[in-house]
Homo-oligomer: A and B are copies of this chain.
């Protein structure tokens, strides 16, 4: 009989619930403020730096650069420089990034679909506390 450890649904050697687990780095990287929106902005294919900046409204150059650098370093996106004048830089999801995309899209969709439920819950909570 196979045991059913529902809270251990993966057969991976790693478990982010454990303190020293290196996957916590990844979890932290994925919970950076702009990561979700930047990855989602690349859903339809490669985008230039300025196009991402326009798509992800409100992101500063610093934060966008930093986020792109982090995603590139973690193998989620590629960076392609075309040395034309003016210079052109395109960012595109890697296979790994494409695997991550639907997950982060789900987070975004969940937020958009339930924002009103959440607001209602907050009103109730704040009334009672």
Taking Cβ atoms with an 8 Å cutoff, the residues of A that contact B are: 6-7, 9-10, 12, 14-19, 22-23, 26-28, 30-33, 36-37, 40-41, 43-44, 55-58, 72-75, 96, 99-100, 103, 105-115, 117-122, 125-126
In terms of DSSP, what is the predominant structure of the interface of chain A? helix
B30 to A107, Cβ gap below 8 A? yes
A121→B74 CA distance, assembly (Å): 6
A121 to B17, Cβ gap below 8 A? no
A37 to B22, Cβ gap below 8 A? no
Q: Which residues of B contact A26 (CB under 8 A)?
A: 110-111, 114-115, 118
A33 to B28, Cβ gap below 8 A? yes
**Looking at the complex, which one of B32, B43, B103, B122 makes contact with A106 (CB distance below 8 Å)?**
B103
Within the complex, the shortest CB–CB distance from A119 to chain B, in Å, comes to 7
